[in-house]
Amino acid sequence: MSHQVENIPVPIPCPGNPEKSLAIQSEIVRILDKFSELTAELTAELTAELSMRKKQYNYYRDQLLSFKEGEVEWKTLGEIGHFTRGKRFVKTDMLSEGYPCIHYGEMYTYYNVWTNKTKSFVSQELASKLRVSEYGDVIVVAAGETIEDIGKGTAWLGKSNVVFHDACFSYRCLLNPKYIAYFTRTKIFHDQIKKHISSGKISAINANGLSKVKIPMLSAKEQARIVEILDKFDTLTNSITEGLPREIELRQKQYEYW
């Protein structure tokens, strides 16, 4: 390997004039150092902007779903609906086509507040042995490496049913599914479930713990209004989330080109 490196040709400017050659090399290094510094500075600024936008969105969402005591009626999720636990399947069961499925690991990396299609599938034969979630149900992840990972919900709005992993629950009630999903991402929700989470190598919560969480009971019209506002904010935040990393990548490529 070292022999191969030794044989890589390196361009030497003005090889016949050592003094001029060193001056040119120094100028090249100075320019690249400056470009590297600017790239690092811009990356830091864009990363900070992304973090600030996410915090701003989370704060706004939490404020929309916060109410003073006595302002609205609160009921537990167990009072107004029920949780169904999924059945186990493993990653080797997952296919690129077949019956739609949601694996708990994808809840952290792929799904947001709602979805109408899945990333993965299982065979029809396996799907017949698993539990299904229907249109309007909310898939709630119930296990994770950290407490913060647990409890986030995704409203299933697909045309067909979907099977789901045993580290998830499907929640069904008469409230707006996206309203439920947004609520599962609030500080109010997570403050309530913390005491019901069992910690260990993998933290988890059961249906009983989730059923004890209280949620504000709003009219269907008010739920829809809040969902509409948060959908717009979510779209804006996601466009920024996707745009800033691309900008960082572009600047890095620009630096490498120069």
Which residues have CB under 8 Å from 149's CB, separation 6+? 108, 141, 203
Q: What's the CATH number for 76-216? A: 3.90.220.20
Q: What is the pLDDT of residue 107?
A: 94
> What average pLDDT does range 131-154 have in this prediction?
94
In sequence order, which residues have a C-beta less than 8 Å from that of residue 75 and are 6 or more positions away? Answer: 214, 215, 217
Confidence band, pLDDT 50/70/90 cuts, at residue 127: very high
The better pLDDT of the pair 8, 90 is held by 90
Question: Residue 30's pLDDT is what?
Answer: 83
What is the residue extent of each domain of the chain? 76-216, 219-258
Given a cut of 80, whether residue 189 has pLDDT beyond it is: yes
Average pLDDT over residues 7-11: 74
CA–CA separation, 183 and 56 (whole Å): 16
pLDDT at 235 over 60: yes
Q: What is the mean pLDDT of the chain?
A: 88
Q: What mean pLDDT comes out for the span 111-123? A: 97
- 18-22, 83-87, 124-128: least confident range: 18-22
Q: In angstroms, how far apart are the furthest CA atoms of the chain? A: 86
pLDDT band at 50 (very low <50, low <70, confident <90, very high): confident
**Res 1: pLDDT:** 53
Distance CA 158, CA 176 (A): 15
Buried b or exposed e, range 117-136, using 16+ CB within 10 angstroms: ebebbbeeebbeebbbbeeb
Answer for the pair 101, 164: CB distance below 8 angstroms, yes or no.
Answer: yes
Task: DSSP letter for 195, please.
Answer: G
Residue 125 has pLDDT above 80, yes or no: yes
Q: What does the block give as tokens for 170?
A: 């499907």
Q: What is the pLDDT of residue 216?
A: 96
Question: In 65-136, which ranges are continuous DSSP H helix?
Answer: 77-80, 106-109, 124-127
Cα(111)–Cα(163) distance, rounded to whole angstroms?
15
Q: Which residue has the tokens 């600030």?
A: 52
Q: How confident is the model at residue 3 (pLDDT cuts 50, 70, 90)?
A: low
What contacts 236, CB < 8 A, 6 or more positions away? Answer: none
Least confident of 62-71, 119-128, 138-147: 62-71
